Amino acid sequence: MLFVLKEGVTGFIKARLAGFVAVMTIAISLTLIGVFLLITVNLGKFVDFLRSRVELEVFLDDSFDEERIDLLGTEIRQIDGVDELTFISKEMAMLEYKKLFRDAQADYIETLGYNPLPASYRVTLREGHRTATEAERVFTTMAEIDGVGENNVVYRREYLVRLEKYINSAIAVDFVVGTIVCLSALLLVSNNIRLIILSKTHIIETMKLVGATPFLVRMPLYVQGMIQGILGGIISAIFLYGLVGLGSLKVPGILTADWRIYLIIANFGALLGLAGSVTAVRRYL
């Protein structure tokens, strides 16, 4: 093993130019992957925040007495996916209306001479149920409750559908770009190892003639590929750390990153380098 490690490090040092190009390409590739990963993670958090703001509102008929309202609230709470239920009285609805529209509609309300706004229940969904499909299911279930009906239950259906459409598009773009970048880095590492194999043809043949096992011949090349990947991963992780720090200074709270993302990038670099060297060895050796 010491011989294998020594040969791998020596081979990397001797092929400095090719190794440097491979390391930087892996670093750039992993940085691009890391940027898309950061965007995806932060986009996911932002989407979760937007979904948590989605509410269903059940408007109550003015003829409902307090007992009927409480019974209705109990039935709504029993629906699978319902997290919180908040009762909004007619008076509270009027206060919110005035706060929202300021004094623009004050004359209209005074002309009516009574409060036309109905009482309601505001329903928030549990985490894991804040999707268009689940919201529609809860909507249908509430609408089937006696005394409610579809016309008395409202929520931002089109908003949720459009939000999920954008999310799916963003995930698809991330996947495609990430795949292309990974394949590019893999091909470069593989090509670099191929050049090393070609330059060592006579040495490899001599090693085989004197009894070197396939393991002893191949492992230094694997080590060399992993060194390239590890260095590329470390450089990428450092750059991403600086990028997140700079983004946080410019716009606080807009970009956050878990330390595990940097660890994933560094480890993925090692895997990428190893995969490239294994591909080249199997094909050209």
Domain coordinates in residue numbering, the chain: 2-49+163-284, 55-155
Is 105 a residue whose pLDDT tops 80? Answer: no
Is 110 a residue whose pLDDT tops 70? Answer: no
| pLDDT (average), residues 128-132 | 81
Higher-scoring residue by pLDDT: 115, 166: 166
Residue 104's pLDDT is what?
57
Work out the percent of the chain whose per-residue pLDDT is above 90. 0
Q: What is the mean pLDDT of the chain?
A: 80
Q: Strand 55-59 vs strand 82-88: parallel, antiparallel, or unpaired?
A: unpaired
* CA–CA dist 249, 254 (Å, integer): 10
Residue with tokens 């003829």: 63
Higher-scoring residue by pLDDT: 213, 192: 213
Q: pLDDT tens digits, residue range 166-208?
A: 878 877 887 787 788 777 777 776 777 777 777 777 877 888 8
Is 249 a residue whose pLDDT tops 80? Answer: no
Per-residue buried b or exposed e for 208-219, using 16+ beta carbons within 10 Å of the residue's own CB: eeeeeeeeebbb
Is 14 a residue whose pLDDT tops 80? Answer: no
Confidence band for 250, pLDDT divided at 50, 70 and 90: low
Query: Who contacts 205 (Cβ-Cβ below 8 Å, separation ≥6)?
Result: none
Is 51 a residue whose pLDDT tops 80? Answer: no
Asked whether the whole model's pTM tops 0.75, one would answer: no
Check whether domain 55-155 has CATH 3.30.70.3040, yes or no = yes
